[in-house]
A and B are shown apart, each in its own frame.
Chain A
Amino acid sequence: MTDTSVKQAGSRPAGMAAPGSRALGSTLPRILVNSGLAQIVLALILPVAIVAIWQLAGTNGSLFGGVLPTPDRVVSAWWIWAFGPKGMGLNPYSGTWLANVIFSTQRVAQGFLVAILVGVPAGIWIGWSRLGAQILDPTVQMLRPIPITAWLPFSLAVFGISGFSAIFLIALGAFYPIVINTTQGARHVERNLVRAALMMGAGRFDILRRVVLPAALPSIFTGLRIGLGIGWTAVIVSEMIAVKSGLGYVLWDAYYVGRMDVVIADMVSIGVMGLLSDQLILLAERWALSWRLAGAR
């Protein structure tokens, strides 16, 4: 194709546009679309437009008669929340952002860890052993339809107004997707891989650790990503009601005193933390499953 266009270009009188330039014109956008910078730009169009419209639609820093603050108010509220001097009576949030982010993140991390430590072995057992499936699976399936929000009063009654309440709910919420996906992975281990391991003298535990677990790892990671998302939901819900610190607590408290600017800054903070922690899991996945990508390189 390039060959013919060059020939045609050569036979054309000087000064006329060669067909090659038209081809270039149509490939140019494609190059732009594929480059990393272009992808970032494309991804930003919609959010920037929304924020701009939101900003321009407001009068005197708010929309809908003072209900919704404009983005600039949100940013300045966040600024004071993050970097303002601590302990000022007029603004109880001033300077507490990082502490609250850490509170919530810590609870998610602790609950998530518990969910992994319980969910992965349980899933492996259910998926691998018929006995495990018979003992555990019915209970898991029976408890699963109860939403974690329905556990809130129970959790409050048992753990009181404390971080344990939140950790319990996070662990429970993240447990289900982890255990279910791990079960799926462990159930579909290639039979000949297990046979090969047996033939080479592997014992029962070796089979679980060195064959079933790595074979289930791709679906385990799927479960981890879903579970972490639920963990963030659970931390916010429980902090709104059962704990007196963290992003969820601030969210509800700010709403109560009519600080919608802080509410929105809080929502954005939750979103960013969720995104960051998901990226962390993706990174771990890429590392742990590098053997899968090896062929594609």
Chain B
Amino acid sequence: MAEITLRQVAKTYFSAVPVRALDSVDLDIAEGEFVALLGPSGCGKSTLLNILAGFEGASEGSALIDGGAIGKPGPDRGVVFQEAALFPWLTVWENVVFGPKMQGVPRSDYEDRAREMLATVGLKDFAQSYPAQLSGGMRQRVGIARVLVMQPRALLMDEPFGALDAQTRMAMQELLLTVWEKLNTTVVFVTHDIDEAILLADRVCVMTARPARIGREIPIALPRPRSIDDLTTPEFTRYKAEIMAEMRSAHRQAETTAA
């Protein structure tokens, strides 16, 4: 439920050695659209997400959400971090209700939703556990639950399922699709996994090597609702071949620039 527009967005980190992470990124995301970002490691995917979240400002260009400049981070844009980034001193339950609590939502308004969300991600029995007692995948699921509880207008997800085993991963993908179809949230989803990108997204954006641009956008016209079974259809395979070719050329490009 949020429209995102990036115009000529560039980002340079002025660290000891200045790093130009993003170079002229143009991207339009419609309200309720599900966009996947694919790209080689270190190309600037997290950087782009950080700009959308409001954690970092763009060095050049304009980043707009619903027509206005992207401001400070806030609960309208839920971020799922690459490493779960849970508060280790809070229990799973306290982590999940942290958002509503900070926003001053009355307890009765969020408690049922939070409980339901914990059950959905399969962690009902771990409400009173501390993050140190969970596996990496379980922590990641808490990170997803705490964001969904806030019912954000946009979901910014940074390789959220990267640490999960194949089974949990599929379950989480289906959960995400269900939630997305129900809430009609705008989703920006960073991933390394081509199958995952095709399965989930309306559009797959392949980023070039650093400094990154959006190399190519490939709309995925597979009918919804989609399921894991679609992975084996000929259309799916065609999309996959197309994206792999694109990524290979991005990789070659990276090697020539590095040389």
A contacts, CB < 8 Å to B: 190, 192-193, 195-203, 206, 210-211, 214-215, 217, 291-292, 294-297
Contact B129 A199, beta carbon cutoff 8 Å: no
Nearest residue (CB) in A for B130 is: A294
Contact B81 A196, beta carbon cutoff 8 Å: yes
Contact A199 B130, beta carbon cutoff 8 Å: no
Nearest residue (CB) in A for B85 is: A192
Nearest residue (CB) in A for B105 is: A201
Chain A residues, Cβ within 8 Å of B69: none
Contact A200 B87, beta carbon cutoff 8 Å: no
Interface presence of B118 (CB below 8 A): no
Interface presence of B78 (CB below 8 A): yes
Chain B residues, Cβ within 8 Å of A203: 102
Interface presence of B83 (CB below 8 A): yes
Q: How far is the CB of A221 from chain B (nearest CB, A)?
A: 13
Bound-complex Cα distance A282 to B86 (A): 26
Q: Give 1 or 0 for each of B72-95: 1 = CB within 8 Å of chain A CB.
A: 111101110101011111100000
Interface presence of B55 (CB below 8 A): yes
Interface centre among B55, B77, B131, B150 (most CB of A within 10 A): B55
14 chain-A/chain-B pairs, Cβ below 8 angstroms? A190-B85, A195-B55, A196-B81, A196-B87, A197-B102, A198-B72, A199-B53, A199-B74, A199-B75, A202-B102, A291-B130, A292-B88, A294-B133, A295-B130
Chain A residues, Cβ within 8 Å of B53: 195, 199
Bound-complex Cα distance A292 to B150 (A): 27
Bound-complex Cα distance A184 to B69 (A): 36
Contact A196 B79, beta carbon cutoff 8 Å: yes
Asked if A295 meets B102 with Cβ closer than 8 Å, knowing A190-B85, A195-B73, A196-B79, the reply is: no
Asked if A211 meets B75 with Cβ closer than 8 Å, knowing A294-B130, A295-B130, the reply is: no
Bound-complex Cα distance A215 to B73 (A): 21
Interface presence of B132 (CB below 8 A): yes
Contact A217 B89, beta carbon cutoff 8 Å: yes
Q: What 4 pairs across the A-B complex have the smallest Cβ distances?
A: A295-B132, A200-B99, A192-B85, A294-B130
B contacts, CB < 8 Å to A: 53, 55, 72-75, 77-79, 81, 83, 85-90, 98-99, 102-103, 129-133, 146, 150
Bound-complex Cα distance A199 to B78 (A): 7
Q: How far is the CB of A188 from chain B (nearest CB, A)?
A: 14
Chain A residues, Cβ within 8 Å of B72: 198
Bound-complex Cα distance A197 to B103 (A): 11
Bound-complex Cα distance A198 to B150 (A): 13
Residue of B89, B102, B129 touching A201 (CB-CB under 8 A): B102
Residue of B89, B98, B103 touching A214 (CB-CB under 8 A): B89
Given contacts A206-B102, A294-B133, 11 further A-B contacts (CB under 8 A): A195-B85, A196-B81, A197-B87, A197-B98, A198-B55, A198-B73, A200-B99, A200-B103, A201-B99, A291-B89, A295-B130
Interface centre among B78, B102, B103, B129 (most CB of A within 10 A): B102
Q: How far is the CB of B52 from chain A (nearest CB, A)?
A: 11
Contact B85 A193, beta carbon cutoff 8 Å: yes
Bound-complex Cα distance A217 to B72 (A): 28
Residue of A198, A201, A211, A297 touching B87 (CB-CB under 8 A): A211
Bound-complex Cα distance A295 to B132 (A): 5
Q: How far is the CB of A130 from chain B (nearest CB, A)?
A: 17
Nearest residue (CB) in B for A288 is: B89
Chain B residues, Cβ within 8 Å of A192: 81, 83, 85
Bound-complex Cα distance A210 to B79 (A): 19
Residue of A195, A200, A296 touching B75 (CB-CB under 8 A): A200
Chain B residues, Cβ within 8 Å of A292: 88, 132
Q: How far is the CB of B107 from chain A (nearest CB, A)?
A: 16
Nearest residue (CB) in A for B97 is: A200
Residue of B73, B89, B131, B132 touching A199 (CB-CB under 8 A): B73
Nearest residue (CB) in B for A289 is: B89
Chain A residues, Cβ within 8 Å of B74: 198-199, 201
Asked if A295 meets B133 with Cβ closer than 8 Å, knowing A195-B55, A200-B146, A200-B150, the reply is: yes
Bound-complex Cα distance A203 to B133 (A): 28
Q: How far is the CB of B138 from chain A (nearest CB, A)?
A: 12
Chain B residues, Cβ within 8 Å of A190: 85
Interface centre among A190, A199, A200 (most CB of B within 10 A): A199
Bound-complex Cα distance A292 to B74 (A): 29
Contact A214 B73, beta carbon cutoff 8 Å: no
